[in-house]
């Protein structure tokens, strides 16, 4: 009996593993064509200043609409795109599309806002990145102060000296930089001061739990203080409720992003929101 149970267990694990391998292969095969088949698009989530209530910018987030798989979430495909290197081409497309969209909104007379683009580790290490950012700005006509790149801690900690140099080069273009998902990676406080970034983004897991767990609240307050004392602005992601917003405001957080104010929106809906706000 025990033996049989053991065998069932093994079969169960094997089935689960096969399913994972098959899923990954499917995503990889389909993702190869996603760009050419124009299945990728961007949605935009507003960032809000906590003092004035004004929209300060937006984060561009990738969406994949597949004809039979339906909408595939970034959680399912960004990792595969990274591992296969496809993220380099996809990321280049995202960068260009986000700059073009931001410029189109400015030309349509909407308030000039900064657009944030997520950068993967692979892109960050790509020697061509600097030139690609420059080209995306030149070709779209977007002024550099309206572009922000979101980097993760782990991406920078991989090779600190190289990362500092790459960040300094990007900063010289005149763009803004932020550290995304702050508090979840492997950042070393000793290195933090060397990164000339503009924003720390408190990860949404902290925002989610801070009102239930005093220790999480303590971390949030400390990150805000730390960010400010290093000269960064601090933004909290994943704000879903009014009490979360109030707590962040009373603790001097600068900006928020989250479903409470708005979900990520398709371009037309985002423009409508800007017109009405």
CB 234 within 8 A of CB 227: yes
CB of 182 vs Mg ion, minimal distance in Å: 8
- From 148, 150, 153, 254, residue interacting with Mg ion (rule: CB under 5 A): 150
CB 136 within 8 A of CB 95: yes
The number of C-alpha atoms within 13 Å of 118 and in the hemisphere containing its C-beta is 20
Angle, CA of 270, 118 and 98, to the nearest 5°? 45
Partner from Mg ion, ligand C2E, none contacting 256, C-beta within 5 to 8 A by type: none
- From 16, 20, 37, 74, residue interacting with ligand C2E (rule: CB under 6 A): 74
Q: Any idea which residue has 């299945």 for tokens? A: 39
Nearer to Mg ion, 181 or 254 (CB): 181
Angstrom CA distances, 145 to 43, 129, 163, stand at: 21, 17, 21
CB atoms within 10 A of CB 98: 26
CB of 11 vs Mg ion, minimal distance in Å: 35
- From 31, 50, 55, 61, residue interacting with ligand C2E (rule: CB under 6 A): 61
For 55, phi then psi, to 5°, come to -75, 125
> What is the C-alpha separation between 151 and 55, in angstroms, rounded?
21
For 186, phi then psi, to 5°, come to -115, 40
DSSP strand pairing (176-182 vs 114-118): unpaired
Q: Any idea which residue has 């706000």 for tokens? A: 277
> What is the C-alpha separation between 215 and 233, in angstroms, rounded?
22
Nearer to ligand C2E, 13 or 259 (CB): 259
CB of 210 vs Mg ion, minimal distance in Å: 16
Partner from Mg ion, ligand C2E, none contacting 61, C-beta within 5 to 8 A by type: ligand C2E
Does residue 180 interact with ligand C2E by CB under 6 A? yes
Does residue 180 interact with Mg ion by CB under 5 A? yes
Does residue 73 interact with ligand C2E by CB under 6 A? yes
CB of 32 vs ligand C2E, minimal distance in Å: 17
Structure tokens at 41: 């698009």
Partner from ligand C2E, Mg ion, none contacting 78, C-beta within 5 to 8 A by type: ligand C2E
> What is the C-alpha separation between 73 and 55, in angstroms, rounded?
26
Does residue 55 interact with ligand C2E by CB under 6 A? no
Sequence-distant (6+) residues with CB within 8 A of 203 are 180, 181, 182, 183, 184, 237, 238
Partner from Mg ion, ligand C2E, none contacting 91, C-beta within 5 to 8 A by type: ligand C2E
- Write the interaction track for ligand C2E spanning residues 128-167; mark x where CB under 6 A is met and - where it is not: ----------------------x-----------------
- Write the interaction track for ligand C2E spanning residues 89-128; mark x where CB under 6 A is met and - where it is not: --x--x-----------------------xxx--------
* Binding-site ranges for Mg ion (CB under 5 A): 118, 150, 180-181, 237
Binding site for ligand C2E (CB under 6 A): 45, 61-62, 73-74, 78, 87, 91, 94, 118-120, 150, 180-181, 204, 237-240, 258-259, 264
């Amino acid at each position: 009996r025990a033996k049989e149970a053991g065998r069932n267990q093994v079969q169960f694990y094997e089935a689960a593993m096969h399913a994972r391998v098959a899923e990954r292969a499917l995503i990889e095969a389909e993702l190869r064509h996603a760009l050419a088949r124009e299945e990728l698009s961007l949605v935009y989530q507003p960032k809000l200043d906590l003092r004035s209530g004004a929209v300060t910018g937006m984060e561009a987030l990738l969406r994949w609409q597949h004809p039979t798989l339906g909408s595939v979430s970034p959680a399912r495909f960004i990792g595969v795109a990274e591992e296969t290197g496809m993220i380099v081409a996809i990321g280049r497309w995202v960068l260009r599309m986000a700059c073009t969209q931001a410029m189109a909104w400015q030309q349509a007379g909407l308030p000039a806002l900064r657009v944030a683009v997520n950068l993967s580790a692979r892109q960050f290490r790509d020697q061509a990145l600097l030139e690609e950012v420059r080209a995306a700005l030149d070709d779209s006509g977007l002024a550099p102060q309206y572009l922000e790149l979101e980097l993760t801690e782990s991406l920078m900690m991989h090779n600190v000296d190289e990362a500092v140099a790459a960040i300094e080069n990007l900063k010289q273009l005149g763009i803004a930089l932020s550290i995304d998902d702050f508090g979840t990676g492997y950042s070393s406080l000793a290195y933090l001061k060397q990164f000339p970034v503009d924003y720390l983004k408190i990860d949404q897991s902290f925002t989610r739990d801070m009102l239930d767990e005093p220790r999480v609240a303590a971390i949030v307050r400390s990150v805000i203080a730390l960010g400010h004392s290093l000269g960064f602005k601090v933004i909290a992601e994943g704000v879903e409720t009014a009490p979360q917003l109030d707590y962040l405001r009373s603790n001097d957080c600068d900006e928020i992003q989250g479903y409470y104010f708005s979900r990520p929106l398709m371009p037309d809906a985002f423009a409508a929101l800007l017109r009405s706000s």
